[in-house]
Structure 1
Amino acid sequence: MPHALTKDNVRLYFEEVGSGTPILFLHEFAADHTNWEPQMRYFSRGHRCIAYSARGYTPSDVPPSPEVYSYKHFYTDALAVLDHLGIEAAHLVGLSMGSYSSLQIALHSPQRALSMTLAGIGSGSSLENLESFRAQCRATAEQFETLGSVKVAEVTREAPGRIPFLVKDPRGHADFYAALARHDAKGSANTMRGFQGGRPSIYTMTEAIKKVATPALIICGDEDDNCVEPSLFLKKHLPAAGLTFFPKSGHVLNLEEPALFNEMVERFIALVEAGRWPPRDPRSLVAD
């Protein structure tokens, strides 16, 4: 099985297919590399596509210490996959947790990102509710450890942001949560405590975000309430960002609306590669 090795010797399982300009797919908390299959099959017709499972998600390694699950570990792990494959820069396509890591790469290693697709980004960013969000993350981590992944999957399958997926595609929704039930409980608990419950809010990064020149496509479901305001915030402050909302959609955008997702990302990447996704023209700005 192919694995990339991180700086702290964690093995990350990856799959790749196709040839051309590389695209790296970064998954969300409840997913793993397999949830990008509709995109791997589609985009590999014209690109070199790589999907990997983050640390804590088998068949990648599951380090026992919660201290090695910080947001810094996660975004540098993505870079480790690119390093292993000899890729200097790639288009980054992330969902939720993966979007946050993509943004961190653009902030700290912008030369590695040809573009970034930030789908379902920003849940838990509200500064007003940040402590309660982190407390919920700690509680969910304890549930993984005491109840196991199967029970947690049963409890979370009807979270508000997941309902649109259930309504549209009950079979796909069932498959998604069957996969979550197979996740390593300790790895999920550590990820929930370290990454989800420890990452800084994007609202604390305003000045740094304003300096990011990386072309960005922000995608949000209009029924993914926790991500609407963060998406608008990023559209306002990322210089070269475009924003689209998917109607009647929740959090799992690449699986809820795979054809629409693929179409939007394909158009975005094509425009970036043609040099036609510039920063916003100042003449279009309205004074506050």
Structure 2
Amino acid sequence: MKKPALIEVKANDGVSLAVSAVGKGDPVVFLHEFSGDLLSWDRQVATLSERYLCISYNARGYPPSQVPESIVNYGQARAAADAVDVMAALEVESAYFVGLSMGGFAALHVAIQNPEMVRALVVAGCGYGSQPSEQSAYFTAMNREAEHAEAIGMDAYAAELAGSGYAQLLRVKDPQAWSEFKRQLTAHSAKGMAMTLRGVLARRPSLWQLEPQLRSIDKPVLLMIGDEDAPCLEPNLFLKRTLPNCALSIMPRTGHLPNLEEPQAFNTMIDHFFSSVGNGLWNRTQSAISSGE
């Protein structure tokens, strides 16, 4: 697939975001995880752009998006606001969302803060560090990781991330995709990733702290999790019990990068989900479940 030209969008605080918009049809907004960027969604965009307008962008701190120097320009609420600003710039009033890990948190916050802009959510691999008992240690670990990234520089940090445990299933399943994942990592900014660790990951609220707000989300939600993504299993069971209109898909022998590890299965699942939401089947089955029929 030919790489599309990127669009520059200014967030409402003036930070520039690099945005891709491919295809036509109902809009889908893709939100990447910490080690990813908009290129992480290439296999989804290649398939879904035949029927959907696929919108993806690099979060702030991820070149060619701007890398703000101050932590005040980063945060969980800010990450959600960026998605809203991108949609406004493209004159998209509402969209389907697909968010992985860090992007999954952002998608949930968009649904909490701007429910009218959300048609349905795919939330994949979400929940790392969110259990209340883990919050203090998680805060310390994310700040330590930020210092480490800045100290060793992007090339060394990219090699560490690509060689870490959560990327090894991708390496075994698809060595070429893993090599591309590693190559794309080297284009990131150590400063931007460090600020994301400090400003977004370390300071985001626990999912358990958000329970009342999560219970208010009445939009269709598909939770997706790899059965080898151990830190996210319990958070997804919590989300399944909490979100009123959701389903949980557990992908076997899959880790934290399901869109890269199992792109065909991932694409089929989210395409079926969007179709069932669009034709009303999702809500009809939800009504049957709720009534006990």
The two structures share one fold, judged by TM-score above 0.5: yes
| 1:197 and 2:187 matched | no
Name the structure 2 match of 1:215.
220
1:107 aligns with 2:112: yes
Distance in 2 separating the partners of 1:40 and 1:155 = 28
Q: Which residue of 2 aligns with 1:282?
A: 290
Separation in structure 2 between the aligned mates of residue 191 and residue 71 of structure 1, nearest angstrom:
10
Deviation string 1:101-160 (CA, Å, 9 cap, x unpaired) is 000011111110111000100111121121111111111111111111211222233433
Deviations, residues 35-61 of structure 1 (Å, cap 9, x unaligned) = 110011110000111111110011111
Structure 2 counterpart of 1:236, from 212, 223, 241: 241
Q: State the alpha-carbon separation in 1 of the partners of residues 244 and 217 from structure 2.
A: 7
**Any stretches of 5+ residues in structure 2 without a counterpart?**
1-5
Check whether the contact 1:240–1:277 (CA below 8 A) recurs between aligned residues: no
For 1:174, give the aligned amino acid. Answer: S
- Quick one: which amino acid aligns to residue 262 of structure 1? N
Distance in 1, Cα, partners of 2:262 & 2:192: 28
Question: Are 1:129 and 2:134 matched, yes or no?
Answer: yes
Q: Is the 8 A contact 1:91 1:115 kept in 2?
A: yes
* Secondary structure of 2:133 counterpart: coil
Equivalent residue number for residue 168 of structure 2: 163
Paired residues, what number?
Answer: 285
Secondary structure at the counterpart of residue 98 of structure 2 = strand
1:263 lines up with 2:268 in the alignment? yes
Amino acid at match of 2:232: C
Q: 1:93 aligned to 2:98?
A: yes
1:63-121 CA distance string (max 9 Å, x none): 11112110011000000000000000000011111110000011111110111000100
One-letter code aligned to 1:230: P
1:161 and 1:225 in contact (8 A); partners too: no
Deviations 1:207-228 (Å, cap 9, x if unpaired)?
A: 2211110110000000000111
Q: Match of 2:183, as an amino acid? A: A
**Residue 3 of structure 2: aligned partner:** none
> Cα offset for 1:229?
0.8
- Going by fraction, where is helix more abundant, 1 or 2? 2
Residues 152/284 of structure 1: CA separation in 2 closer, same or farther (3 Å cut): farther
CA-atom RMSD, angstroms? 1.3
Is residue 36 of structure 1 aligned with residue 41 of structure 2?
yes
Q: In structure 1, what is the equivalent of residue 78 of structure 2?
A: 73
Separation in structure 2 between the aligned mates of residue 133 and residue 159 of structure 1, nearest angstrom: 18
Distance 1:78 1:43 in 2: 19
Secondary structure of 2:36 counterpart: coil
Q: Report Cα offsets for 1:220-267 as digits up to 9, x if no partner.
A: 000000111111111111111011011000001101000000000000
1:246 aligns with 2:254: no
2: distance between equivalents of 1:162 and 1:233? 25
CA contact (8 A) 2:63 2:187 kept: no
Q: Is the 8 A contact 1:96 1:120 kept in 2?
A: yes
Q: Could you list the runs of 5+ residues in structure 1 that have no partner in the other structure?
A: none
SS in structure 2 of the partner of residue 31 of structure 1 = coil
Please, which moves more after superposition, 127-136 or 77-86?
Answer: 127-136
Q: Percent identity?
A: 36
Give the drift of 1:171: 2.2
Offset at 1:284?
4.2
Q: Which residue pairs with 1:139 in the alignment?
A: 144
Matched, 1:272 2:280: no
Cα distance in 2 between the residues matched to 1:130 and 1:197: 9
2: distance between equivalents of 1:126 and 1:181? 31
Runs of 4+ aligned residues of structure 1 deviating over 3 Å after TM superposition are none
Q: Distance in 2 between matches of 1:19 and 1:226?
A: 36
Secondary structure of 2:155's match? Answer: helix
